[in-house]
């Protein structure tokens, strides 16, 4: 129940009350272009054969990339750059988002990311948990920050 409430807490419905289709993996490239326009250099690569995914996996992947790039902009520093990799496996979708910035304070990712200022890391963990995936987040050796997720592509139950 806590995971479900956490996902709902992120406020996917617009304030106007109008509902629009949820973002999906295909819209990640558009998201990255928007981020690049803010001045953050982002390298983007897709590996494997793209294919339709369950809607929960699509939305989770988009939100992870969105939150990871937001964190890079907030915590990485003025000269930070990022890379985003989507990897289609036979049984899952892998995501790797790395930056070469300053990284974030330990409070932002330890113990689920309860930093007292937002719910970004907590929301990522809850979303990944809702689709039965795994998430690893923390500082990179040599500096920067890394978020790695594996989202399984199991048949809908």
Structure tokens at 42: 């982002």
Residue 38, Cβ density class (10 Å: 0-12 exposed, 13-18 middle, ≥19 buried): exposed
pLDDT of 73-104, one tens digit each?
998 998 999 999 999 999 999 999 999 998 65
- pTM over 0.85? The answer is no
pLDDT band at 21 (very low <50, low <70, confident <90, very high): confident
pLDDT of residue 81: 96
Query: At residue 38, does pLDDT exceed 80?
Result: yes
């Amino acid at each position: 129940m806590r995971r479900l409430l956490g996902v709902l807490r992120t406020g996917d419905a617009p304030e106007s009350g109008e509902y629009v289709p949820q973002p999906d993996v295909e819209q990640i490239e558009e998201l990255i272009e928007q981020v690049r326009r803010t001045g953050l250099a982002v390298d983007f690569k897709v590996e494997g054969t793209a294919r339709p995914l369950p809607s929960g996996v699509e939305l989770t992947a988009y939100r992870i990339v969105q939150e990871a790039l937001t964190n890079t902009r907030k915590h990485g520093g003025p000269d930070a750059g990022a890379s985003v990799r989507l990897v289609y496996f036979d049984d899952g979708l892998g995501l790797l988002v790395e930056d070469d910035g300053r990284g974030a304070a330990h409070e932002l990712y330890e113990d689920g990311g309860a930093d007292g200022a937002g719910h970004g890391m907590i929301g990522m963990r809850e979303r990944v948990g809702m689709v039965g995936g795994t998430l690893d987040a923390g500082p990179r050796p040599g500096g920067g920050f890394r978020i790695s997720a594996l989202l399984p592509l199991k048949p809908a139950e």
